Amino acid sequence: MIVKKFEAQTETEAVMKAKAELGAQAVVLNVKTIKQRGIMRLFKKDRVEITAALEEKDFVQEINEKKPVMNAAKQHIDVAADENIDVKPSSEEIERKLDNLSEMLKSQMKEKGRDKKEENSAGEEDKNFNDESDDPRQAAMNNNIKTLRLVYNKLIDNEVDERYANAIVNEIESSLKKESNIDSILAGVYQKIILKLGEADIITLKEHQKVVFFVGTTGVGKTTTIAKIASKFKLNEHKKVAFITSDTYRIAAVEQLNTYANILDVPVRVVYTEEELKNALDEFKDYDLILVDTAGRSHKNTEQKDAVIDLYKSIKSEENHIDSEVFLVLSVTTKYRDLISIAKAYENLGEYKLLFTKLDETCTLGNILNIKLLTGARLSYTTAGQNVPDDIETINVQKLAKQLLGGNV
């Protein structure tokens, strides 16, 4: 894992520096403002420092693909690679994000230590973890393993799949030195999870019109989510937005979308066939954003599910030249095995983004990481309630990583 810091006048400039140095796959871990001190604060503006990271394999690929540039400006960078993960993190922002997690782990280690002593006094021995070892190096290694075990248990408690929890812990363990401390191990896991979650990929509008499809099973909240996104672009960014719905199997769904359309003062069209969809898109050719609500389908009903996929693919042909994308909407409350089945059912969609709903209805968020790693799809938005347009946000991977480790938000 490559971790570097970049400083600039604005956050945007700092992010651009990071992308230029590390590549497009770089993930921003932290952003903080560096205030000027002393007499210079009267003459200079505050600066912004970001901490960005990239998996080493992505870094190597980016370097191999990058063309040489002569006389490139040299940037001052602080580096902390996986090999030095045991160095105490210097980022105040990371420490703030982690809050009291290290203290929590220390407390749990003490409690487990007391339990072990009680077991030993009853005649039971712990051969794997012996804090009373005469070898300081062995004792340090034992403490590292104990810390990683507690981290692993936190991930499992949050319903992270065992495969992914093991992979995270093993990656950190392989990079540790013999005398790492809890803070550095925790920071390493935190950064690793953020990298695996990746950077959010949300709807962005450029010069051309964009058509966005929303697919998923029944009851996940597609229609309400569409209304929330439409509100953002219509009210906040003053874009021309239109609705199309193919959910003709549920009259209530059409009525609900039409209600939102009336409130937002945007047009809505109901389509039954691929040809009607093309006609609706032609009618809305002067609009900036078209949001398409598809019928909720059981992923087990192959015929109905394929009809939704075919509808989306009908506008993806090269001759249409339509800028389109699709979001697979999933409820985080759905059982993991069902989420796996749903994700596999929609593999034929091609590239899609993940949008998770109902975060307010669960206390474990491991499924977000699980499905992200299973599919390799980019994360986008999360929703946590029925209020339009408030209960939606771009996924906060720092916040999610902290929650997966058992931290308070």
pLDDT in tens, 264-291: 999 999 888 888 899 999 999 999 999 9
Top pLDDT among 296 and 391 is at: 391
Amino acid at 402: K
Report the pLDDT value the prediction gives residue 309, as an integer from 0 to 100: 85
Neighbouring residues of 232: CB distance < 8 A, sequence distance ≥ 6: 389, 392
Top pLDDT among 167 and 408 is at: 167
What structural domains and CATH numbers belong to the chain? Answer: 2-79 (no CATH), 101-110+125-197 (no CATH), 210-404 (3.40.50.300)
In this structure, what token pair is assigned to residue 157?
């408690």
Residues 52 and 28 sit within 8 Å (Cβ to Cβ): yes
Report the pLDDT value the prediction gives residue 131, as an integer from 0 to 100: 46
Report strand pairing: 392-394 vs 289-293: unpaired
Interval 317-324 mean pLDDT: 70
Sign of CA dihedral 185, 191, 195, 196: positive
Q: Which residues of 185-210 are buried (b: 16+ CB within 10 A; e: fewer)?
A: bbbbbbbbbbbbbbbbbbbeeeeebb
Q: How far apart are CA 408 and CA 122, in angstroms?
A: 37
Report the pLDDT value the prediction gives residue 23, as an integer from 0 to 100: 76
Q: What are residue 406's phi and psi, to 5 degrees?
A: 90, 10
**Residue 227: strand, helix, or coil:** helix
Interval 35-46 mean pLDDT: 65
As a whole-number percent, the residues of the chain with pLDDT over 90 amount to 36
Where is 304: in which H helix or E strand? helix 302-313
Interval 11-33 mean pLDDT: 79
Ranges 155-169, 230-244, 305-319: which has the least confidence: 305-319
Q: Which letter does DSSP use for residue 211 in this model? A: E
Report the pLDDT value the prediction gives residue 10, as an integer from 0 to 100: 86
- Residue 102's alpha-carbon distances to 83, 217, 306, 390, in angstroms, are 21, 40, 48, 33
The 3-state secondary structure of 85-119 reads CCCCCCCHHHHHHHCCHHHHHHHHHHHHHHHHHHH
Sole residue written with tokens 């870094």? 59
Report the pLDDT value the prediction gives residue 117, as an integer from 0 to 100: 53
> Is the bond preceding 267 in cis, omega lying within 30 degrees of 0?
no
Report the pLDDT value the prediction gives residue 27, as an integer from 0 to 100: 75
pLDDT digits (tens, 9 = 90+) for 96-110: 545 556 566 656 556
Report the pLDDT value the prediction gives residue 233, as an integer from 0 to 100: 94
Interval 151-171 mean pLDDT: 93
Report the pLDDT value the prediction gives residue 229, as an integer from 0 to 100: 95
Report the pLDDT value the prediction gives residue 67, as an integer from 0 to 100: 45
Q: What are residue 204's phi and psi, to 5 degrees?
A: -125, 135
Nearest alpha carbon to residue 181 among 126, 115, 103, 128: 103
Interval 168-187 mean pLDDT: 78
Q: Which residues of 377-390 are buried (b: 16+ CB within 10 A; e: fewer)?
A: bbbbbbbbbeebbe
pLDDT digits (tens, 9 = 90+) for 327-376: 999 999 999 999 999 999 898 888 999 999 999 999 999 999 999 999 99
Beta-bridged to residue 293, according to DSSP, are 214, 245
